[in-house]
Amino acid sequence: MNALTVSNMSVSYDKQLALENVSFSVPEGSMTGIIGPNGAGKSTLIKSILQLLPTVSGTVEVFKKPLRSQRKIIGYVPQRSEVDWDFPTNALDVVLMGRYNHIGMFKRASKKEVTWAKHCLQRVGMQDYASRQISQLSGGQQQRVFLARAMAQDAKIYFMDEPFAGVDASTEKAIIQLMKEWKNEGKTVLVVHHDLQTVNDYFDHVLLLNKTPIAYGETNRVFTLANLEEAYGGKIAFLQQGPKAAKGST
């Protein structure tokens, strides 16, 4: 079954098209890398799928139902969380926000929910910072808290916009490990990713995007030098050994 089907998605900012006719579907239990140069429209694609911005055209189905009815099974980590870092809240509290749909309106979080939130913090190595006010965390630590919040949502399909930006190598490994566990549990994960070296290792599907989809499908068929050159234009030159080297490594 397809976890996600996007058809004819077009988005424009002012009068400039940022995405043109993007269509693809993602099978359940897959891990898809969304790859493309800066400004390719990767963040725009995720936001438009989640209906966080107005679209020119396009429909989105999540498990064959319109997105609107499926919000509870969707997890999202934005590229940069635009929050007020001085807000009176701590790491554990932020993670608990991910449990909102499980706690329900007008109710307080139960012990069970708090335990689950702590477990999520532990998975990203942040258990010792649970009661730290969020402005007193480093950039990478903040990112890890937001990943833990997404994890706490216990969603069926995850959208992550550059989750590894600013995160150290061992945390990246731990998070990838976690995502692979999710995948084995049948969860579907879409990740915007810039490091071409690790694409082969991390993802079973790849969407190459530059305003329109250049290629979509299983990694070994899509992640080719020819496709990359088309996606990145001339800019691929200095990255050339990227996909080749990645094949042999790890």
Partner 1 sequence: MEQFSALLSSANLQWVLIGSLLLGFASGVIGSFVLLKKQSLISDAMAHAALPGVCIVYILFQTKTVPYLLTGAAVTSLIATQSIQTIVKWSRIKTDAAIGITLSVFFGLGIVLLTYIQQNATGNQAGLDSFIFGQAASLVKGDVQLIAAGALCLIILTALFFKEFKISIFDPQFAKGLGLPVTFFNAVLLFLVVAVVVIGIQMVGVVLIAALLITPPISARYWTDQLGWMTMLAGIFGAISGVSGAVLSTAIQNLPTGPIIVLSASVIFLFSLLFGTKKGLLLKGGRNA
Ligand X SMILES: Nc1ncnc2c1ncn2[C@@H]1O[C@H](COP(=O)(O)OP(=O)(O)OP(=O)(O)O)[C@@H](O)[C@H]1O
Q: Which residues bind partner 1 (CB under 8 A)?
A: 50, 52, 68, 71-72, 74, 76, 78, 81-84, 87-90, 93-94, 97, 100-101, 103, 105-108, 131-133, 136, 149
- Per DSSP, the residues of 203-234 read -SEEEEEESEEEEEEEHHHH--HHHHHHHHGG
- Rounded to a whole number of angstroms, the minimum distance from the CB of residue 70 to partner 1 is 9
Q: For 79, list phi and psi in degrees, rounded to 5.
A: -60, -50
Q: In angstroms, how far is the first alpha carbon of the chain from the final one?
A: 31
Whose Cβ is closer to partner 1: residue 132's or residue 194's?
A: 132
- Rounded to a whole number of angstroms, the minimum distance from the CB of residue 242 to ligand X is 16
Q: Which does 106 bind (CB under 5 to 8 A by kind): ligand X, Mg ion, partner 1, none?
A: partner 1
Site for ligand X in 75-114 (CB under 6 A): 79
Q: Pick the binder of ligand X from 3, 6, 40, 155 (CB under 6 A).
A: 40
- Rounded to a whole number of angstroms, the minimum distance from the CB of residue 176 to ligand X is 19
Q: How many residues sit in the footprint of ligand X (CB under 6 A)? A: 11
Distance CA 211, CA 156 (A): 27
Q: Pick the binder of ligand X from 3, 32, 41, 134 (CB under 6 A).
A: 41
List, in order, residues 6 or more apart from 212 with CB less than 8 Å away: 19, 20, 21, 22
Q: How many residues does the chain have?
A: 250
Q: Which does 40 bind (CB under 5 to 8 A by kind): partner 1, ligand X, Mg ion, none?
A: ligand X
- Rounded to a whole number of angstroms, the minimum distance from the CB of residue 40 to ligand X is 4
Distance CA 5, CA 13 (A): 23
Distance CA 116, CA 148 (A): 10
Q: Which does 39 bind (CB under 5 to 8 A by kind): ligand X, partner 1, Mg ion, none?
A: ligand X
Whose Cβ is closer to ligand X: residue 47's or residue 156's?
A: 47
Q: Which does 13 bind (CB under 5 to 8 A by kind): ligand X, partner 1, Mg ion, none?
A: ligand X
Distance CA 152, CA 155 (A): 8
Q: Which does 44 bind (CB under 5 to 8 A by kind): Mg ion, ligand X, partner 1, none?
A: ligand X
Q: What is the DSSP letter of 1?
A: -
| Position with the least CB separation from Mg ion | 43
Q: For 88, list phi and psi in degrees, rounded to 5.
A: -70, 80
Nearest to 21 by CA among 53, 1, 45: 45
